[in-house]
Amino acid sequence: MDIKLKSGLKVKIKEVSLDERDEMLDSVEYQFNKKGEPAGVKMMHSTITKWLRLGLEGDASDGFIKKLSFEDRTEIFLKMQERLLVGEGKASD
């Protein structure tokens, strides 16, 4: 899946295996505020880097990732989450 970021950069998200998907989803640990509402992700930088390495098609090297702005990395991470969570919570027939 090709995505165009707000910055204009285009990246491609690859099809990941079920094992890779589970590894990615298991690496996210959410933080919640006192009301129980999502307030962020613990260890955000290492989590996002892991997702980029596993989920980007093509170059996911240190050099490429370091060139991305924090906003670009976050936007890619959020798009990947949307894609991987499609179908979550739906009972199967």
Average pLDDT per 10 consecutive residues for the chain, totaling 93 residues: 95 94 88 88 89 96 97 95 73 49
pTM across the whole model? 0.79
> What's the pLDDT at 88?
54
Q: Domain of 46?
A: 2-84
Task: Report if residue 91 sits inside a domain.
Answer: no
Report the alpha-carbon distance of residue 71 to residue 27 in Å, rounded: 20
> What's the pLDDT at 42?
81
> What's the pLDDT at 70?
95
The count of domains in the chain is: 1
- Residues 51 and 80: beta-carbon distance below 8 Å: yes
